Structure 1
Amino acid sequence: MHIEKLSDRFPIGLAKDLKFIESEIYLSSMHESYMPFDIQFEKNTLTIPTRIYTDEGQLGRLAKLTPKQQEVIYCVFSRHHDGFVREKCLRQFVTSNNSFTAPYILQLLGEYVVEIIEVIYQNREKINKDNLVRYISENPLHYEQTRQRVYSYWDCYYRRAYPKYKRGVSPKDDSYLDYPGIKMVKYINALLSSTKL
């Protein structure tokens, strides 16, 4: 039996919240989390799993948690092996002002489920831009890997569905037939260009 430990996944400033969450939510699984990767967050190293296998039924037990604590759980379950669960949870924190959500949003951008990527792109103006830019400035490699994955997934799976994509062409508007992941990368690149890092 594997128990997800939240202290490795979130900043130390959330220690009390994490302890309370672990007392209320049963984060066990028959399988260990898959392919964890390290990021830097506010000068600390955090480890985020690529996938978790915890029972999504635990999402029905959030009533005793504060809104911030609920966002922690939604971030955790945004790593779930079921894409429908990932999308459902993303919708709960994509517009959050809590800085700890930024790495989870970026990681989802670099995945292959286009419906999840569309949620990110559709909410681009509501995403906390300062948190996202700050996170990317601390983790340029994570952003570069994400950017490369976006282009690779488009090339492998979505080239036919989004045939108008051409390098160097800017999206014209929301109706422009372009892969939402590529449009989001262009949007982030513009944010990074306009911000002194």
Structure 2
Amino acid sequence: MQTDVLQSPTSHVTAASRAKLHGHRGAVLWLTGLSGSGKTTLAHAVEMRLHHERYRTYVLDGDLLRGGLNVDLGFSDEDRSENIRRAGELAKLFLDAGTIVFCAFISPFASDRQSVRAQIGADTFFEVYCRCPLEVCEQRDVKGLYQRVRDGTLAQFTGISSSYEPPSCPDVVIDTDRTSVPAAVDQVMALLRDRGLLRLTAL
């Protein structure tokens, strides 16, 4: 009787073999901070630096997920937590594929971020706190969200009508109101280097 080789769903391609193929390990960099704090800008800037050095990278952010995977979620505390849970699950898949994935989410609740860290693993999850005063974030208001809050057309907004819990022990803190983008990129690159995620020499 012939064995059906399609019965087993187990992959024989391991994280170690992917790392060997790519020349680097995967990682999850979780950027948290208020709306307008520069999370996505920084994520894309670091991604570009790594891309030029031929690392496998990808950026996930709130707009990307809420426009598709999480389109069914609102902004209640429960929906915010579910948004982060799904983002963590997606990031874990990218990690398994050997990618350095940047997750730029407000992720206002410390318990949700801690759950994602536990889910992914402390040795591959790095929390980047994009710290920026509310008034500076509001001055930027690149999406017009703060103005909508002040006009009364947007409720449950983090930092004003909904709470934000800053990280207590982030892997790196970047004061985005007084740090240039290139300098902030250098800080994240230093974190990756210190944690042994960067090659000793470029390809």
TM-score w.r.t. the length of structure 1 is 0.28
Task: Please say which structure displays the higher CA radius of gyration.
Answer: 2
> More relative contact order in 1 or in 2 (CA 8 Å, sep 6+)?
2
TM-score w.r.t. the length of structure 2 is 0.27
The structure where strand makes up a greater share of residues is 2
The structure where helix makes up a greater share of residues is 1
